[in-house]
Amino acid sequence: MALRAGGFKRRSGASSQIPSSSMADIAFLLLIFFMVTTVFRKEKKRRIDWVDAEATQKIDEKRKNILHLWIEDGGQIYINDQAIADDEIASIVRPLYADNRELVVALRGDRDVPYFKINTITKQLQASGAVRVTFATRLEHRVMRPRR
Amino acid sequence: MPILNRKQRVSDEIPTASMADIAFLLLVFFLTTTVFNEEKGLPIVLPEEKEEQEVSPKNLLFLIVQPDGSVVVRRGESEQEQVVAYRQIEGILRQELAANENLIAAIKTDPDAPYRHMINVLDEVKKAGAERISLQMVGE
């Protein structure tokens, strides 16, 4: 068997360039992923110092079932970007709860709010029937795991 | 004749070279605007209004949260009180739950205590695995 061309002409078949023809496909794939997962923020972000808790759980609830109730440092309460007086909560939440029985109220309270504020809110939520409540917290990693 | 050589220069294909650029532009837009759903917290179900039930005092463990963050532990039937730091509650509650699984952890918070102290105690109670929790305020 004769060697063809003495091996000098052997070249690696792999191209040294990044294939750019599939770039668009990759980009579109990522694009579709982000388009599907994007939910635009409805509310303004409020300045809240979160409370940390180790038992923080992820709330698996559809976004439309969650009502945010913000309690700012000074005690001002907001629902859907509107400042609310303390005694209006029941009258605002009641129709929302009547529309959607799966409503979960997420209390996003500042860490320094005095407790009587929270108590008036929970009392009014009870009066409006929306009894599923979560106290929004941030996950806390308090203890370092012992090394083995 | 030169007139015959004239050709139409406009290509009838969609230019694919810029496709990636367009896609990446849109991609960057969605990347920056995306907010992932991150609803986190301590869930609790409040009792319905007028749904008060009588509980036997021996099933109650009061955790009274003071404005300074210390916690007074009082077992329902006794008058004996014990002041603890909130980090000890998990251990105490685990013992109590092992002895009596119908125990209700009643978190009684002072009206002037900051919210975070109450959450700290609720956190401990949740960590101890208590299912029956009651939220109250001192002086109601």
pLDDT by residue (tens digit) across B79-93?
Answer: 788 888 888 888 888
Could you give the angle at which helices A115-128 and A89-99 cross, rounded to 10 degrees? 40
Q: Given this structure, which CATH class describes domain A52-139?
A: alpha beta
pLDDT-based confidence at residue A134 (cuts at 50, 70, 90): very high
Residues A74 and A113 sit within 8 Å (Cβ to Cβ): no
Chain A residues in contact with B26 by the CB 8 A cut-off are 31
User: What is the reported pLDDT for B1?
Assistant: 53
User: What is the reported pLDDT for B88?
Assistant: 87
Give the residue extent of every domain in chain A.
52-139
Percentage of residues in chain A having pLDDT higher than 70: 86
Question: Which of A59, A73, A115 to mutate: most B Cβ within 10 Å?
Answer: A115
Along the 140 residues of chain B, how does pLDDT read in single tens digits? Answer: 556 666 667 777 777 778 778 888 888 888 887 776 678 889 999 888 776 777 788 888 889 999 998 899 888 777 788 888 888 888 888 988 888 888 888 999 999 999 999 999 999 999 988 888 988 888 87
Nearest to B20, CA basis, from B31, B30, B28, B11: B28
pLDDT-based confidence at residue A62 (cuts at 50, 70, 90): confident
User: CB contact, 8 Å: B13 with chain A?
Assistant: no
Q: Report yes or no for ipTM above 0.85.
A: no
Q: Looking at the predicted structure, is the pLDDT value of residue A105 above 60?
A: yes
The Cα–Cα gap between B140 and B131 comes to: 23
User: CB contact, 8 Å: B32 with chain A?
Assistant: no
Cβ burial B90-127 (10 Å sphere, 16+ → b, else e): bebbeebbeeeeebbbbbbbbbebbbbbbbbbbbbbbe
Given phi > 0 = left and psi -120 to 50 = alpha, else beta, which region is A7? left
Dump pLDDT digits (tens) for A26-38: 888 888 888 887 7
User: What is the reported pLDDT for B37?
Assistant: 66
Q: Which residue has the tokens 């009641």?
A: A94
> Do residue B41 and residue A119 have CB atoms under 8 angstroms apart?
no
> Do residue B16 and residue A119 have CB atoms under 8 angstroms apart?
no
Of A41, A113, A136, the CB nearest to B114: A113
User: What is the reported pLDDT for A9?
Assistant: 59
Distances (CA, A) of A94 to A62, A88, B60, B135: 19, 10, 32, 21
User: What is the reported pLDDT for B74?
Assistant: 87
Nearest to B128, CA basis, from B93, B88, B102, B96: B93
Rounded to the nearest integer, the mean pLDDT of chain A is: 82
User: What is the reported pLDDT for A5?
Assistant: 52
